[in-house]
Structure 1
């Protein structure tokens, strides 16, 4: 039992960023560290919520190489990210910006939460004001008994 639990725990742990291949690694450790930091914020376009460093998809490799090419060309981290977004779209950002159309998505959750709380509060308040229902008359009790087959 303990072995099975331990095995299940090990299998659910993340595998880590093992997708970066040795031929992609830059010889300059500082540039490689910058490339890894940028890659942490970029999503693989074909994988679900995997950074490009975690993904084994060919397009993720292409993006990793593009990041490293831009760094070697002397671009800043922001310029590299902007180049990737310009080429692959804003979907590649694991943390999209809170501007423009994305602002609607950022605000929709809290707004719906507030609307739901307001609706719930108004329903509870309306029920508390309604009071108790009037008791059934003898005729209504007889009709109910007939309907229920009793």
Structure 2
């Protein structure tokens, strides 16, 4: 009985996949070069939520194709670039932006590298200070050729 159920389920999945939505890969048509330039600028500064290291403009993932069509639709509806970015952030989070806004949720992202650099500099400064303050430590003579 279980084998028959699994076989029926597998058959249904095969049939369902035949009716799956095929991606619309037709190239987008722009009204003029201004619309094209605005679209390209906007899609190059937004990250594909599936690929993570590609912009929406560069990704071939289905979600990027859908987002490109959605962005063009929003542009034609009269939305500003900021409104389109806000729409995508509301839907996918700050991750969709290559340059996320500075705020409490992104402070570590923006200031973390600086904090690590300052901490490393403090550690190096402290080690050098402690070594030079040891009794019996001889200063290095740069002309001696020995370190």
TM-score by length of 1: 0.69
Counterpart of 2:52 (choices 48, 51, 68) is 48
1:106-117 correspondence runs (5 A): 106-117=110-121
Gaps in structure 2 of 5+ consecutive residues: 1-24, 138-147
Summarize deviations over 1:23-75 as a string: whole Å, max 9, x none.
Answer: 32323322222111110110111113211111000011111111101001000
**Corresponding residue of 1:80:** 84
**Distance across 2 between alignment mates of 1:25 and 1:95:** 28
How far residue 22 of structure 1 moved from its aligned partner, in angstroms, is 4.8
How far residue 116 of structure 1 moved from its aligned partner, in angstroms, is 1.2
**Distance across 1 between alignment mates of 2:109 and 2:57:** 26
**Distance across 1 between alignment mates of 2:52 and 2:82:** 24
**Distance across 2 between alignment mates of 1:71 and 1:82:** 13
| Aligned pairs, number | 113
1:80 alignment partner, SS class:
helix
Counterpart of 1:96 (choices 100, 110, 116) is 100
Q: Which has the higher helix share?
A: 1
CA RMSD of aligned residues (A): 1.7
Gaps in structure 1 of 5+ consecutive residues: 1-20, 134-150
How far residue 100 of structure 1 moved from its aligned partner, in angstroms, is 2.2
Counterpart of 1:62 (choices 61, 66, 73) is 66
The answer as to whether partners of 1:90 and 1:96 remain within 8 angstroms in 2 is: yes
1:39 aligns to 2:38 (yes or no): no
Counterpart of 1:28 (choices 29, 32, 37) is 32
How far residue 132 of structure 1 moved from its aligned partner, in angstroms, is 3.3
